Structure 1
Amino acid sequence: MDPYEHATTGLMPDDDNINDVDELERLENELMPQPDDYYGILNVSKTATAEELKVSYKNLCRSFHPDKHKNDEHKRIAEARFQVIQQAYEVISDPQKRVIYDTYGEEGLKATWEVGPKFKTPEELQAEYEKQARLKREQDLDNMIRSRGEVNLGIDATQIFDPYEPPVFSSFNQPGLAPKKKGPLHALTNGQVQQLFMRHSFETQLGPQTRAIFGGSMVSRGGMGGGNILGTIRHSVSPKLFCELNATILKPRGLTLKTVYNMSSDSFCNTIVQAKTPYSPPIVTITTGRRLFAATTGYITYRSGEWSLLGWGGDVSRSMDKSHVALGMAGVSGAKQKGNYSCELQTGIIASHFAADYTHKLDRQMRVRVAGSISTVGGLTASIGSDHKLSSNTRFGMSMECGVPTGVTVQFKVSRLGQKLVMPIILSSEFDFRLTFLGTAIPAAVAMAVDQLLLKPRRQKQIKAKILELREQHADILANRKAEAEDAQKLVTATAERKTKVESDKKDGLVIVKALYGHLENLVDEEGDDEEAEGVIDVTVVLQAMVNESRLTIPSGHSKTNICGFYDPCLGERKQLKVQYRFQHQLHQVIIKDSAALIVPMRAHLI
């Protein structure tokens, strides 16, 4: 192994591969007044078929077509709303425009797309659009961060927790010297720097498909060390083939060629060829994998180790770099894909191991990871760690690793905009249950206390301030949305009255008795007048107008932009929809969250 090749074995995934959005930034994006939602305008879900679109469009035309209204004011309102309905139907009913809208929203319809032949299927178009968006995101990230660095400071703290005090002997019948008094922090002076590693690199664009990286690294262990300079050329040969060439300039010199080839959307093959000297064949590593399930990929890796060919390479019987084969899989888990897992089984001439890890993303920008391995070289190890996103560009993490015979190690990590500071501290060279417990329980308790007593209140205060700021900033837009919703309710009042009469005469008719939408805490209070509560609106007329053939359907997530008159009465607050309705001459009530979909009547009332 190259002595200047360093790999950090922290508990958290590399931050360069993380695309988290800060909570306040996400809140601002969510609360930003959005353009009209075409699915909400048409009162259909995103999975609606062409036939469902036609039925909903015809129903809306009965209420919003200008010719249906005699009143001049109502006719003027209907003309404006009907134009929005027509625009939405024109986009959603066109398969190609629908794919663009689903991927990029209304802004995507204004762009010029070059995605190959015109007669592609919606699935092929979706893949092309996602590819272009991914390339653009990668390019924007590369333009923002071109400098990367890492400092790894390893500390040996075994003498702090288990100090060795040499005995004091008397000589020539003279009493021994009295030991010097030591302060409470004297034990900290027994810590020693075991290793210092530093590297830094700069990246530049040489061409549309080519980038160059120039960097250097140095390492110091036990007062001895060295450094090297590394140059890298990365080139994208085609959308399926990517190559990278690395070379070290100083001794020990080496040349590494990496290729990544995507044979299809479900399979890949990666190769690494390392040449350290012209007097021996290069070490070859081949990894091939395939998607096994929707969110799981399996792979197999073969590494040749040092080998000889017809005398080229000499005697490699004493070489420590032997061949091995590894079989593993990795993927994401959970309904919201917040978990990442991987496991690997490796068999080799010298080293064999089984390793597994699981990383779960919690709320408030926190990740927790547990990992374990059993190896013929490293023995048995287990680790647990977490990290927290302090700001939009800064993360702090801590991990604890213990094993037999590796001992107990705690590691701290701070990363910001591609710059990392990693500090592993060896607490004990042997397994020590007391240190393991203290090193896990105490930091976890401190982290929980800091999170609950400091970070969480601070974050809640920031969120409340941000909500107030956004309400003031978008007050005019919100007032306009409210006025539009009230105008829409005027147009559907006649339709709602007609449907109420028709449904009342049916045996299985559906009549909306009362429907309120707004702030959760105000709605759950059964006492008092809910209509007068702050942040609550009456949507009885709206829902009755949406009844079709004794069924009411509110697509998930579109209630705030519905063409019939929904609007957000309390921006940034949790909302619920409370509906009292009469079906089969019996009174029912259902309360659902703002993000849920409601279809009534049905036995469960709520889906």
Structure 2
Amino acid sequence: MAMAAPEEEPTRDLYALLHLSPDASDEDIRKAYRHWAQVYHPDKYLDQQMKDIATENFQRIRDAYEILSDEQKRQIYDLYGMEGLTSGLELGPKLSKPEEIKEELERLRRRKEEEKFFSHSRPAGSVFANLSVPQFLEGGGIMRGMAMTSEVQTQLSKRNLASFGGNLAVTGRSGSGAATAVLRHQASSVASIEFMATAGLRSIIGVQATRQISRHSTATSGLAISLRDGSINLSNAWTRQLSEHAVGNIQLVLGGESGISVGWQREDEKSSATGEIKFGTGFFGASARYIRHFSSKSHGRIAGRVGSTALEFEVGGGRRISELSTVRMIYTIGIQGISWRFELHRAGQKLIVPVLLSANLDAWFAASTLLIPSSLYFILKSYVLKPYYKRREKRKALEKVESQSAQVREAREAAKRAQKLLEVVSNRKRQKQLDRDGLVITKALYGNKNIIRGGDQISEVSDDVTSQILDVTVPLNFLVTDSGQLKLHEGIKKSGIMGFCDPCPGEPKQLLVEYTYNGQNYKVLVDDYAELTIPQYAHSV
């Protein structure tokens, strides 16, 4: 059974409408148009209601024919669907070869993507608010310090990117700040160079070059000069892909703060882990972190740091509360005391609030500050948050169904009107096949995959929107050839076939067909984009 076509590929509704293969020839398209025009041409009907139905569907057939019979329009449709035809993708008159048309379409598509990309800058920023409970209890303010960082990136051209940023920190009555500008030039597909300048207490200018030296390895070299004392720092870093999910890196720095560090990162769908060891002339340290994703929305983490200036352990977790927002709470214990850290991440913005609970290490206090919030969270999650999110998701699902119901109802009515005009010819073909003991479609249902699989229990299909299935027996009998065969082409969504519609947008769909041939009963179930060719002995029941 064929797999469903990817969602990003253009739909093939026009091919389905004319019952054509995507590689149909011009002659096939003309024959299909004449065939459908004989059924749906308005002049064939005297009754005004039937004439109106025929006019509506004949217009669809004529529009499909005009697009597929025009070589350039067909090229655009095959690559980008109807959106490509309606979004201003126009080709010059000098293009004649399919390769030239495709190249021009790709150029236009890239230009539109670049225009969209360049029209947006990418801002990012962080706000840190350091709070201290011991300081507050001693009569001082609860605010221990604040810090802010901000950065905005903008694409100057296809190869050039500029970023501008700054930071400001205040602790007690002292403060500091700096401004940074970076220009990045993509020299080639494997090499780039960056120029950097920082103004503040430590004014620095620097340059950094990066090059991919093999399929799995990248090297970076940098030079930074301090404008205050003229000191120079040299840095070299090497990164290598160790496996499908793991990366290792080594960095060497020579200068006022010489040192070497070795790091490792691993990430897959369920977890990520990092580790680093670094040492230099006046410091040493090691750190590790592990994050486990419990679901698409929640995760837990543990981390530890040890070195000449730090000794701490942290444990915590986070949850995605919306498409762009994530909240985290982290418990930290170390030589500087016991603290909580609250984080709110939204798009590129962060709000981080560390709260120092105690500067002293007390076992009972440490256990309480870890267990009490954890217990409260699990109680809230079980009895408040989880029921709330379930109700919200259910409400959103109902709202989605309600918003689509009018659209689905209109599509079902249009499909029924199209079937009404097919009915006479369909019944005639059906009777002809019955007389010769040929191919007769006895039942055909199209719609929600889960409902279709229980098709044996469906005795009558309701026209109500909530049924999520459509009876398509009439159009399939119409499509049976005089030789007693029926073929639905692969890669074409079946909702575009004349007399069909999409009865459940966004849901996976299947087609169930029960038929008789030579007095035998057959049954087949196919996916939405799969090919169907009947009769076949393999379908016998």
SS of alignment partner, residue 141 of structure 1: coil
Deviations 1:354-398 (A, max 9, x none): 544455773xxxx333444566536785644223344x7x62412
Letter in 2 for 1:284: S
Post-superposition shift, 1:423? Answer: 1.3
The answer to whether structure 1 residue 323 and structure 2 residue 274 are counterparts is: no
Identify unmatched segments of 5+ residues in structure 2: 1-6, 46-50
Give the direction of change, closer, same or farther, for the CA distance of 1:400–1:100 in structure 2 (3 Å limit). Answer: same
Give the direction of change, closer, same or farther, for the CA distance of 1:208–1:422 in structure 2 (3 Å limit). Answer: same
Letter in 1 for 2:126: E
**1:6-17 equivalent positions in 2, closer than 5 A:** none
Distance 1:274 1:575 in 2: 56
TM-score, length basis structure 2: 0.67
Post-superposition shift, 1:56? Answer: 13
Q: Which of 304, 307, 311 lines up with 2:252 in the alignment?
A: 304
Residue of structure 1 in register with 2:493 after alignment: 558
Residue of structure 2 in register with 1:282 after alignment: 233
Of stretches 196-205 and 84-93 in structure 1, the one that deviates more from structure 2 is: 84-93
Q: Which of 230, 240, 246 lines up with 2:179 in the alignment?
A: 230
SS of alignment partner, residue 436 of structure 1: helix
Post-superposition shift, 1:224? Answer: 6.0
Distance 2:538 2:130 in 1: 59
Residue of structure 2 in register with 1:538 after alignment: 471
Post-superposition shift, 1:245? Answer: 3.2
Distance 2:394 2:311 in 1: 45
Residue of structure 1 in register with 2:126 after alignment: 150
Distance 2:100 2:275 in 1: 41
Distance 1:266 1:119 in 2: 37
**1:63-462 equivalent positions in 2, closer than 5 A:** 64-66=35-37, 72-73=44-45, 79-86=58-65, 89=68, 97=76, 100-101=79-80, 105-107=84-86, 110-111=89-90, 132=111, 135-142=114-121, 148-156=124-132, 192-201=142-151, 213-221=163-171, 223=172, 225-238=174-187, 240=189, 242-259=192-209, 270-276=220-226, 279-288=230-239, 299-307=247-255, 319=257, 321-330=258-267, 333=269, 342-349=272-279, 350-353=284-287, 355-357=289-291, 362=296, 367-373=297-303, 377=307, 381=313, 383-390=315-322, 395-401=325-331, 409-415=339-345, 418-426=348-356, 432=366, 434-447=368-381, 449-458=383-392, 460-461=394-395
Q: How many pairs are equivalent?
A: 500
Distance 1:284 1:481 in 2: 67
Post-superposition shift, 1:479? Answer: 3.7
Distance 1:371 1:126 in 2: 47
Distance 1:198 1:523 in 2: 57
Distance 1:470 1:407 in 2: 56
Deviations 1:251-305 (A, max 9, x none): 1222343455578998765555444466443241434456966xx5x64433212
Residue of structure 2 in register with 1:41 after alignment: 14
Letter in 1 for 2:128: N
Post-superposition shift, 1:325? Answer: 3.1
Letter in 2 for 1:436: L
Letter in 1 for 2:198: T
* 8 Å contact kept, 2:166–2:177: yes
SS of alignment partner, residue 457 of structure 1: helix
Post-superposition shift, 1:153? Answer: 1.4
Distance 2:214 2:109 in 1: 16
Residue of structure 1 in register with 2:3 after alignment: none
Distance 2:64 2:398 in 1: 35
* 8 Å contact kept, 2:433–2:440: no
Give the direction of change, closer, same or farther, for the CA distance of 1:583–1:600 in structure 2 (3 Å limit). Answer: farther
Distance 2:26 2:478 in 1: 14
Identify unmatched segments of 5+ residues in structure 1: 1-33, 161-185, 308-312, 314-318, 334-338
SS of alignment partner, residue 110 of structure 1: coil
TM-score, length basis structure 1: 0.61
Give the direction of change, closer, same or farther, for the CA distance of 1:200–1:600 in structure 2 (3 Å limit). Answer: same
* 8 Å contact kept, 1:201–1:213: yes
SS of alignment partner, residue 304 of structure 1: strand
* 8 Å contact kept, 2:441–2:473: no
Post-superposition shift, 1:101? Answer: 0.8
Post-superposition shift, 1:226? Answer: 2.3
Letter in 1 for 2:59: A
Report percent identity of matched pairs. Answer: 13
Give the direction of change, closer, same or farther, for the CA distance of 1:528–1:190 in structure 2 (3 Å limit). Answer: farther
Distance 1:41 1:384 in 2: 54
Post-superposition shift, 1:442? Answer: 2.4
Distance 2:331 2:102 in 1: 45
Q: Give the superposed CA RMSD.
A: 5.6
Give the direction of change, closer, same or farther, for the CA distance of 1:303–1:263 in structure 2 (3 Å limit). Answer: closer
Deviations 1:407-466 (A, max 9, x none): 765432335575432113345776845543443342244245444444543454455446
Residue of structure 2 in register with 1:567 after alignment: 501
Residue of structure 2 in register with 1:5 after alignment: none
Deviations 1:509-537 (A, max 9, x none): 57342426479889979588433545444
Distance 1:220 1:528 in 2: 74
